[in-house]
Each structure stands twice: as C-alpha cells, then as structure tokens.
Amino acid sequence: MQRCDHCDLPLIDAPISGADGDGRYCCYGCQMLDETVGSEAVDESDATLAPLLRRTIIGLLLAGFTMVLSLAISSEYGFEALRNLEHAVGTAHLVLVLAALPALILLGVPVLRAAWRTLRQGQLSLHLLFALGTSAAVAVSVLSYVRGTGPVYLETAVMLLALYTLGRYLTARSKHRARRVLGALLSVPDTTYERVAPTNDTVPADALQPDDRIRLHAGDVVPADGVVEAGQSFVDARQLTGESTPEAVSEGSRCFAGTHVVDGTLTLRITATGADRRMEHIESAMQEALARPSRLARRTEQIMRVLIPGVIVLALGAFVGWWMAAGAEKALYVALSVVLITCPCALGLAVPLARVLAHGRASKHGVLIRDGQTLLDLHRVRTIAFDKTGTLSRLEAAEVQVEAVALASAQESVPDPEELLQYAAAVEASTHHVLGRAIQAAAQQAIEADHPPAAHDVHTVPGAGVVGQVDTPTGPRRIGVGSSALLDRLEIEAPPSGAVPSAAGRVRLFVTYDDVVAGVLLLAEQPRADAAPALDALRNHGYALQLLTGDQPEAAQRLGDALNLPVTAGQTPEAKIEALARWREADGPVAMVGDGINDAAALAEADVGIAVVQGAPVTLQAADITLYRDDLRMLPWLADLSAQTTRIVKQNLAWTFAYNGIGVGMAVAGLLHPIAAVIIMAGSSALVTANSFRLRRLRPPEWSESA
C-alpha cells in the first residue's frame, strides 16, 4: 500500500509529486507542509507551523491586495464597462501585474505541476479543473494586455488559487490530527528501562523481548505490552481509551504500550513488543480504515470522474455558442464563469473531511473504526444484539463455586474441588474470556501455589469451551471446561440431572477429567453498572435490542430480566449467525456487540460488529469497531457520532449539488461574473468545511468510578 511521504496515510487518489519529482503526497496540503517545514509539522505547534502560516498568509495577502487594486482600477470604468467587458488597459494595470505575479508563482505552480502529473497518468483530476480555471483567467487577461483593451481577470485567478490553497491546507490539517492521535498512541520516549530479568541491566525500549521483566517507576511510559507481576499503581491510559481517570493496576493486570505509570512502581513481564503491540495493530487498522473510502465517498469520486470532463465539455459548448452569438470576449467571459462555478472543491471536501474528522474524534476517545463505511452503516442499523458474559455482565472471583460430581463408572478417586479448580484455571490461562479470567482469579485466591499446574496443547472449541492437557500428580490428563455443548463435542456422557447442582440462574460449566465429568463450576454474574444507562440511551435512539448468548437459558433470562432485554440463549456460533440473519430480514441492518471467541463469527456476519476491549484477539480482528474505553456508554455516543456524521455528509452534498446546479445555469446564461463565481465557490467550500468541523463539538460521556 502506497503512503503519503508527509502524513503517512494511504494514497487513495493519484499521488501528487513534489518539487523534485520524487515526493508522493495524498493532497496538495501535505505537499505544502512537507516542502515548507517538513514532517515535524504534524504536531501543529506554533514553532513548526510558523513558516507555513507565513507562506499561506503571504499568498492570501497578495491575493487580497490584488483584488483591492483591481477593484480600484475598475471603479473608474463603472459597472457598465464591467458588463460590456471592454475597457482600456493602462499603466495602472501594469501595477496589477506586479502585485499578481508573485502570488501566481507562489500558489499556482504547485497546482499546475499536480495537474500535469495526473494528466500524464491519463486522469482528469480536481487539480486539472483548477489549473484550467486559473489558466483561462490569466489567458484572457494576457489577451487583453496584448490588445490594449478588454477584461482583466488576474485578481480572479489569484483569489481562486488562494482559496483553493487554503481549502487544501485545512484538509491536510484534519488528516494530521488523525495521524497525531495515532502517533500519541504509539509514543514511547527515547529512553532506557531497568531490566531485572533475564539479566539485570539497563536497555532501550527497542531491545526488550517477550518474557523480559522490567521495573517501571512513577512517570514512566510503558514501552511494550505486558502483565504486572509485582507492585501497584494507577496507570494513565487516556491515549488509548480516552478515559480521564487513571486505572488502578496490580498483580495480574495487563498494561499496554503508550500508557503512563502515575504513582507507583511496577514489575512488568513483557508479552508483546514492536509490531506485536496492541497499539501497532490499532495504527494499522486505523490506516487501513482511512484507505477504504465509504460508499458515499466512492459515489462522490464516481460523480467527479463524470463531472470534470462534463465541465470541460460544457465550458467549450458555452464558449462556441456565445462566440457565435456575441463574440469572442463574451464567450471567454461565459466559459470562464462556467469553469469557476462548477469547480467541485466543496464536493471534494463534503465526504472525506467529515469522515476524517469523525474517525479522529472516535480514536481520540478510545473507539477504533476499521472501515470508512462503518460509521455511516451504524446509523442504518435497526437491531443491536449483545453477548452476555463480559459484555453486559461482570464476574467476580468470590462468586465462583466448584462442586465435585460423583463418578460412578470411574476406576479411580475423584479430584477434590480445589484440584478441579486449579486444573480448570490451567486450561483457561490461555483464553481471554471473562469466564476464564474469573476462574483463574478464584483459583489464585483458593490456593497460593508456588507451582500451579501447567497446561499444554490447549485449544478452544468455539461456542462450547476449552480443552487441554494438564500435568497432574498422576500424569497428564485431558481437562475440559465448558457448557453441555462441550460434552457433546467430546462425546462425553452427561451426568444424571440429580448429580448436577442446580444452576439457579448462575452460569454453569462442566469440568471434564479425561473422558468423564468430574465437577461443575457455578459462576454468578451481575449486570455492569454502565449497562442499564447505555441500553436506555440506545433505546431512545430507536434501536431494537436483543440478548444473544450461548449460555444456559436460566442464567441468560436472569440477566435479561434485570436489563429488560429479549433473550435468545443456548446459541452456538452458527445459530447466532442465523439469528442475526432473521433479524436483518425482518427489520433491516443489524449490529453485534461481543467479546468472546464464540462471538467472532457473529461479529463478522453483522452489518456492524463491535468488540469490547477485553475481547480475544480473533474477536477484535473480526469486529468493525473496537471499544478500547471500557464504558458501554460509549455505544450511544458512537450512535450520536454516526447520526451526526451522516447528517453532515448529506447536508454537505445537498448544498454542493444545489449550489452547482443554480450556478451552472446562471453561468451558461451569461449572468454570472467570474469574480462572483470565485466568491460563491469559496463560500461553498467554507460552508462545507465549517459544517464538517461541527463534529468536534460532540463530547463523550464523562467517566465515573461507579461505571
């Protein structure tokens, strides 16, 4: 994938070359930024932007001075002369040339170079249309200078270039804001870290390897993903999640690169470095999302492919028609007005600018959107289905109960409940599901073992459970933890109903020991504190909500009653896909929110798949949206962002097409002066830009400890 040499975002359109012919840029604004101040301009500090601002301001001042001087010169001829397009070109117009020429060189040469490059590639670009408009204005003016009489449009050409440059610069700045968010996420200072294992030394961040142990102190930036092995501290994760309140971490907690240690000392076991860090995956996904244009953006590009040659043909047709009716001067005047008024600058900004701003706003607050169309699709969704455990509910270690099941057919003694809990925790150690984490936490609280049992050859049975080999005192044993579906998959006979404790609304998991059921785990769960307000807000948005889970009906119904959700329980991954298909056929597009491996297929099937931060890697990969801020109230905020982005894009497109339609009619009829066309065109672009920047006003819900 080709990337811009300045902002490093993917090149969607034909690249713009630099002054030396080697640079490749996604837009004219990035070319200006890179050639003026270099790539350090992305931080938008006053010091680095000053040179570029001076250049832009100089161009605008020259354009303004040229416009004022032109109006002063033209005022002596009166409005009648402007309508007739005929007046003498005298000494004062030579001063106008001296004022306009620097601006034409400063702002016009990059546009001409970009237009020529795309034309050589066989493409008709927006740059070409601007180059034609400004070149036509200059050509008409030169002809008037040579003849000694006629209209002079130097101020029109200069003002058009100045406004176009300003619009490109604003677009580039919006891209840099998105990149700056990603840069902040991946920001690790160029410093050294205290490594305590396998060697005791000081190393730079890029020298760390998985399973290294490092000691972090207050103020340190976490250089790589890892698990806390000792110590307690608050960790500031706002760059990752958008949360303003630091998160308390202790032994067993996960930390991610780019977060900050606030007030304590931590010993961190490294689990991922370099390209394996979570932030690297976020950056890659964000850039891929920006590389995939939305459906509206693709339609806009298709329209522009037709519009640009259509404008050229229309301008030529108007020129020929007016030449035959009123002469060459009037024909040039009309053709120039047609080119200027139909220049689709606003159309080029309508979708991309709103999209980039929305993606940047979401990523700043811990929401990763992986596709350009996803945010607009969310507004079309009618039904949102939720997974249960981990998504809407919480499990605590104190709520985990283990009971043995009598093995009437076994030839050996039954492992006691504490042993079963340790074996179950061993096979769950490699999973990312909240049930597994609760089992591990309960096992750690039950027995402080120096050498807990080890598991190997562990694999997940989607929608059923997990199975692995565990080293026990009697040798390796196949241990499985899962629902009754796991017993069917392993072809293990289920115990009689009288031998199994009643679930009573709790999550019930069977623990298998070789080929028999040895025990039952009962896990009680409670709704998340932020679940009810988030669901109420989504209902107010008009979404139909569903609880879609693979858990037992009793436990699912208990949570469904607490949150007022219709329940579809006992669903395999395949059954979840079928349920989503039924809801889609009945009501329209559907979204799925989940975190487990058994949710991955449903997330991929849904029109919009949303994964929460605790999710397994395959789940995060299958999702269209990932919530890295652990707050379900981000869902209605995301719905607000989707609705506002869709509304702004539609407003931008409606205004642009209405403006172009009316303007073209006036221009072809000879009723629009080229200067008025430039002003209207610039006003349209400014309106589209201002309307898009309204997305920055949408604030996320305030984080609170109670949530």
pLDDT at 47 over 60: no
Supply the pLDDT for residue 602.
Answer: 80
Q: Contact at 8 Å (CB) between 565 and 632? A: no
Q: Is 220 helix (H, G, I), strand (E, B) or coil?
A: coil
Q: Both tokens of residue 209?
A: 């390897």
Average pLDDT over residues 42-46: 40
Cα(638)–Cα(367) distance, rounded to whole angstroms? 8
Supply the pLDDT for residue 239.
Answer: 57
Q: Both tokens of residue 249?
A: 């971490």
Q: What is the pLDDT of residues 459-480, one digit of tens each?
A: 877 667 889 999 888 888 999 9
Give φ, ψ of 15 to 5 degrees: -70, 155
Residue type, 60: L
Q: Using the CB atoms, write b or e for 472-503: b if 16+ within 10 Å.
A: beeeebebbbbbbbbbebbebeebeeeebeeb
Sheet holding 516-527, edge to edge: 393-404, 516-527, 507-513, 475-482, 465-472, 455-461
Considering the candidates 387, 530, 595, 599, report the single residue annotated as catalytic: 387
Q: What is the pLDDT of residues 391-447, one digit of tens each?
A: 888 776 556 778 777 554 444 566 788 888 899 989 988 776 667 878 888 888 776
What residues are paired with 255 via a beta bridge?
226
Q: How far is CA 605 from CA 265, 272, 576, 587, 618, in A?
A: 44, 29, 9, 16, 14
Helix ranges, 38-125 (H): 46-75, 78-84, 91-103, 109-120
CA 72, 77, 78 angle in degrees (round to 5)? 90
Supply the pLDDT for residue 140.
Answer: 77
Local structure of residue 429 (DSSP, 8 states): T
* Closest to 644 (Cα-Cα) out of 541, 545, 543, 544: 541
Q: What is the pLDDT of residues 433-468, one digit of tens each?
A: 667 878 888 888 776 655 678 888 888 776 678 899
Residue type, 587: D
* Closest to 468 (Cα-Cα) out of 429, 414, 435: 429
Q: Contact at 8 Å (CB) between 451 and 464? A: no
Q: Both tokens of residue 187?
A: 């920001």
Could you tell me which residue, 342 or 586, shows the higher pLDDT?
A: 586
pTM of the model: 0.59
**Band of the pLDDT at 372, cuts 50, 70, 90?**
low
Q: Where are the beta strands (DSSP E) in 492-589?
A: 507-513, 516-527, 544-548, 567-568
Q: Contact at 8 Å (CB) between 353 and 692? A: yes
pLDDT at 244 over 80: no
Average pLDDT over residues 568-583: 85
Helix ranges, 564-673 (H): 573-587, 600-605, 617-622, 634-668
Q: What is the pLDDT of residues 640-667, one digit of tens each?
A: 999 998 898 888 888 878 877 888 888 8
Supply the pLDDT for residue 255.
Answer: 85
Q: Contact at 8 Å (CB) between 467 and 461? A: yes
Average pLDDT over residues 515-539: 87
Supply the pLDDT for residue 83.
Answer: 43
pLDDT at 38 over 50: no
Give φ, ψ of 508 to 5 degrees: -115, 125
Q: Contact at 8 Å (CB) between 226 and 211? A: no
Cα(441)–Cα(434) distance, rounded to whole angstroms? 10
Question: Is 387 annotated as catalytic?
Answer: yes
